[in-house]
Amino acid sequence: MSDITELPFSFLRVPQMRLRTPNIPRPSPMVVFWLVFLSYFLVLSGIIYDMIVEPPSIGSTTDSNGNVRPVVFLQYRVNGQFIIEGLSAGAMFAMGGMGFIILDKSNSKSLSIKNRYFLIMSGVLCILIAYNLCLVFLRMKIPGYMVTSS
């Protein structure tokens, strides 16, 4: 019976293949963490705002002589940005986070004293630079930041 049903297909030659379901290994927690860190950087740069509102990547003004000068920060509005502005601010946030991570890594076991000093210094420097640059950016956007008007 099975010979008859197999007859129409007798001209086919079955290839010698060994298919297995691919074995995707589970990623280690730190790999997942760095992926999350990358997506955090992107989201906090306002990439979703960029995709929907489609602002220019950098603004421009014409000054009194007629020259076109670039403007990096969209002024007077917290709820608007240019693309480059968002990415640079996101880089600052990421750098600040990296500072704390470096500070923690400086306490790991297999480090010489020189390396420990180096890591601590760079961690503190990352945090200081990131925080102060963020304040500079914000003051460029909103000139009245931290100026009490009442």
**Quick check: 19 binds another protein (CB under 8 A)?**
no
User: In sequence order, what are the residues at sequence separation of 6 or more whose Cβ sits closer than 8 angstroms to the Cβ of residue 59?
Assistant: 70, 71, 72, 74, 82
What's the closest the beta carbon of residue 104 comes to another protein, in angstroms? 7
Helices (H), 26-107: 29-44, 47-53, 83-105
Six-digit token string for 121: 């210094």
Q: Interface mask (CB under 8 A) for another protein, residues 84-123, using x and -?
A: -xx--xx--xx-xxxxxx-xx--xxxxxxx--xx--x---
Q: Does 148 bind another protein (CB under 8 A)?
A: yes
Classify residue 113 by its DSSP letter: H
Is residue 53 a contact residue for another protein (CB under 8 A)? yes
Asked if 57 interacts with another protein (CB under 8 A), we say no
- 3 state SS of 144: coil
Q: Distance between CA 7 and CA 34 in Å, rounded?
A: 57
Torsion of CA 53, 55, 57, 60, to 10 degrees: -170
Asked if 133 touches another protein (CB under 8 A), the answer is no
Rule CB under 8 A: is residue 83 a binding residue for another protein?
Answer: no
Under the rule (CB under 8 A), what is the footprint of another protein? 26, 29-30, 32-33, 36-37, 39-40, 43-49, 51-53, 78-81, 85-86, 89-90, 93-94, 96-101, 103-104, 107-113, 116-117, 120, 124, 127, 130-131, 134, 138, 141-142, 146, 148-150
